[in-house]
Chain A
Amino acid sequence: MNLRDTPEEAAFRAELRTWLDENLPEERRGRRGGEQRFGDDFGRDWSRKLYEAGYAGLTWPKEYGGAGAPYSFQAIFYEEMARAQAPSHVGVIGLGMAGPTIMAHGTEEQKQAHLSKILSAEEIWCQGFSEPGAGSDLAAARTRMERRGDVFLVNGQKVWSSFAHIADWCILIGLSDPEAPRYKGLSYMIVDMHSPGVEVRPLRQITGEAEFNEIFFTDVEVPAENLLAEEGQGWQVAMTTLLHERGTLGFALTAALEVGVDRLIEVARERANGDAVARDRVAQEWIELQALRYTNYRSLGTYQRTGIPGPEGSAIKLRWSEQNQRMTKLGRELLGAEGILDDGWWHYQQLRSRGNTIEAGTSEVLRNIVAERVLGLPKGR
């Protein structure tokens, strides 16, 4: 157990800090949500810069454009990006979900075709999982994938798909065999979003911004070689994606939370310094931030030793989402009368936080997962 950086880690941290100082324009620090990702070309340009400097895909193998670095470097990367309030790489879905899934289940051709382009932001990816009738119950997906010789004909509707309006590719789960037992009729494929028959409609969310979308597939022809794993193995492949969605996210989430808690402390200092109740609540948020931070470190330590993330990681997204909601609401409250003004950061963050307990696994589903898979309680379904 040692919380200090090794000499290699310290050198990496220092080099990254310098690079951020030199390359991140001041006006791009600490921007609110959607505008830094979608407002202009900055998102892709910035992501390409990160890639060219070697900071995208730190833990990915070198043969696929990564740096082959240990996981602790990825953790340091998130910490320093948060400290600089730097915008994240625009390829969130590609880096966190599509890439790891292709690495685990893809053919060599698929790996060569896509992995380095994910890192360089030449390809933006989106996720086609949820449907109007299949949210938490992913196995109820009804988007049809009909085999027609060398192609699949895809028809159906996906929803809540972040980045779809700027995406080049989609990881898609659908039903290839309606007669098969539950879980066995699903297939998983990668779909070119520029194919004829793909239509994307942005959904406006309660913040007023459109970060996610509906995707309509009408007779879209997808080559059979775009399957990941075999036809009918979609469920197993989807589990890999979700493992990565929930497993590698912790540091990024905690880093973003740290930016918020730092701002909260500033608001408290200026607006609520003599308010003992407010001070107590701010201190509680600071404590829980540290608790999440060191839980990430523990999970990472176990991962580096055993190759499997520690079970404690499954609590991180659950607690992070609830804390982000509490913390942003407190920030608005401490601003007093100004807290109701539509003035940017706090206003946006507080409204946006309501999605946190729904996206990437609702809190209810996450509590089921902890109960059944971590605690070993009897299964209810």
Chain B
Amino acid sequence: MDFALTEEQQELKSAARAWLSERYPLDRDFDAPQDDRWAELAELGWLGVSVSEEEGGVGLGFVEEALILEEMGYALYPGPYLATVGFALATLGPEERAAVAAGTTKWSAEIDGLVPWLGSVDEVVGMDGAAHDAGGEEVATVDPDRPAGRLAPGDGTSLAGSRDVARARAAMAAEAVGIAQRVLELAIAHVSTREQFGKPVGVYQAVAHQLSDTYADLELARSLAYWAAWCVAENDDQAAVAAAAAKAFAAEAAVTACERSIQVHGGTGFTWEHPLHRFYKRALWLHGTGSRPTALRAEIADAVIGAPVPA
């Protein structure tokens, strides 16, 4: 039993943190089009982390992918890594996997009738588990980096694998953890320097305790997210409940962390200029994409209590 990150996992996480913070600093122009640097990701091997070496990947697993996703949440990475690696990869066959690892194909998946990034990916895994053409009209969502559209009617081409809902949920939980971590850090920095009544506002318990609560939420969410990632990577029996638990808890934790961070930032946190609202919008996107927390908890209730018996 050893639930700490290995040295290699920590190194990968640090490398992702460094790469992302250099290319996606928080003072960037969020309103301008953002480069997803897909070719660089392919070169780093991060598109094929869980793809076998024979297929051009690195032969690691989903835990390592979850760590990259966490860092992408932390940096507000704009591209469709979540969709390609988190939503689609498990459904693909060897050739498609190799193309993902090489950086030549971007994928998304249809979720509740909507396809995130429909306009910017190459292929889509439909609800039917088949490959469909991407492209078509998109609508804006709460997260400006993540527009969505609907698949054109028609049959797709069948794919080798099946859809892995647990993996998609665990991936979203990992991103949510990164978001909560970053907005907590922003809040700490702000309340440690912003002074009112002659003292940094962080000395006041009404402010400080909100951040202590965020910290507790964050660490609990992280534990669930890593547990879910491990279960998905190991194909463990508990993968379904672990991923449902992680997604429900981490999405709620991220949204609440953003709301508390906005609150303790005062008026600054409510401005367009400050990046906080971008994190908040991504957290809301994760909260609302796929099953909502109450639906996930209903699945867990079915698993642990048993299916409801009508009175």
Contact = CB atoms under 8 A, between A and B. Distances in A.
Interface of A: 1-6, 9, 72, 75-76, 265, 268-269, 273-274, 276, 279-280, 282-284, 286-288, 290-295, 297-298, 300-302, 304-305, 310, 312, 315, 318-319, 364, 366-368, 370-372, 374-380
Given A1-B2, A1-B63, A367 B226 contact: no
Contact of A291 (B203, B208, B223, B301): B223
A370 B217 CA distance: 12
A279 B199 contact: no
Interface residues of B, number: 51
B283 to A, nearest CB: 18
B304 to A, nearest CB: 5
A13 to B, nearest CB: 10
Contacts of B311: 273-274
A280 B191 CA distance: 35
Interface string B238-255: 000010010011000000
Given A371-B208, A376-B192, A283 B1 contact: no
Nearest to B301: A279
A268 B219 CA distance: 28
Main secondary structure of the interface of B (DSSP, over half): helix
B227 interface: yes
Interface of B: 1-6, 9, 63, 184, 188, 191-192, 199-200, 202-205, 208-209, 211-213, 215-216, 219-224, 226-227, 230, 236, 242, 245, 248-249, 294, 297-298, 300-301, 304-306, 308-311
Contacts, number: 172
A294 B308 CA distance: 28
Contacts of B308: 273-274, 276, 279
Nearest to B3: A297
A290 B245 CA distance: 9
A3 B223 CA distance: 12
Given A294-B227, A367-B205, A315 B3 contact: no
B9 A1 contact: yes
Contacts of B2: 1-2, 72, 301, 304
A280 B304 contact: no
Given A3-B230, A9-B1, A297-B3, A269 B301 contact: no
A312 B308 CA distance: 36
A315 B4 contact: no
A1 B221 contact: no
A3 B1 contact: yes
B3 A298 contact: yes
Given A1-B63, A298-B222, 20 more contacts: A1-B226, A2-B2, A5-B1, A76-B1, A265-B305, A268-B301, A268-B305, A269-B305, A276-B298, A282-B301, A286-B245, A288-B220, A291-B220, A291-B249, A298-B4, A367-B205, A368-B205, A375-B211, A377-B203, A378-B199
A309 to B, nearest CB: 11
A287 B306 contact: no
B4 A312 contact: no
Contacts of A4: 1
A292 B309 contact: no
A199 B163 CA distance: 69
